[in-house]
């Protein structure tokens, strides 16, 4: 197992999805939440970010040549999840002036729990791709 490949892919995967999620989160918070409420807004956003994550995971597995082994894919997803959570925590504390306790308490709400489930799914995507041959998915950005 080439640890460097899985670690690099995980870092880029986590930062890429965080960046896209930051933009989608701003749209969700500013435009969708006031109209639908937080839970409905997360339910609307989650499929979009998960679809994007699915595409990005494939591209990075290929780009970084991440081994087709469970350990490599779990490492990639674990690193990506850690990066994503650290970025979200940093954003919460530095921009929104929340405490660490407030950050973690937010996961107890319905919309927070749904968001966490989506984040866990994002982290599992590299592993799930073990059972889906990358070449068989065609060139439609899958």
pLDDT tens-digit map of 57-92:
999 999 999 999 999 999 999 999 999 999 999 999
Q: Is residue 66 part of a domain?
A: yes
Q: How many domains does the chain have?
A: 1
Q: Is residue 78 part of a domain?
A: yes
Q: Is residue 136 part of a domain?
A: no
Q: Is residue 99 part of a domain?
A: yes
Record the pTM: 0.89
CB 122 within 8 A of CB 51: no
H helices present in 1-142, as ranges: 3-27, 33-36, 38-63, 70-94, 100-105, 110-128
Task: Tell me what the pLDDT averaged over the chain comes to.
Answer: 92
Q: Is residue 122 part of a domain?
A: yes
Q: Is residue 107 part of a domain?
A: yes
Domain encompassing residue 108: 3-130
């Amino acid at each position: 197992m080439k640890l460097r490949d899985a670690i690099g892919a995980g870092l880029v995967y986590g930062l890429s999805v965080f960046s896209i999620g930051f933009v989608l989160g701003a749209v969700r918070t500013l435009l969708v939440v006031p109209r639908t409420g937080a839970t409905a807004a997360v339910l609307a956003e989650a499929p979009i970010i998960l679809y994007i994550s699915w595409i990005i995971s494939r591209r990075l597995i290929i780009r970084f040549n991440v081994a087709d082994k469970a350990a490599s894919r779990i490492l990639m997803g674990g690193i990506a999840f850690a990066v994503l959570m650290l970025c979200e925590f940093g954003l919460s504390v530095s921009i929104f002036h929340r405490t660490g306790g407030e950050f973690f308490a937010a996961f107890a709400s319905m919309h927070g729990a749904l968001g966490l489930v989506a984040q866990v799914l994002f982290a599992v995507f590299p592993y799930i791709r073990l059972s889906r041959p990358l070449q068989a998915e065609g060139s439609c950005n899958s």
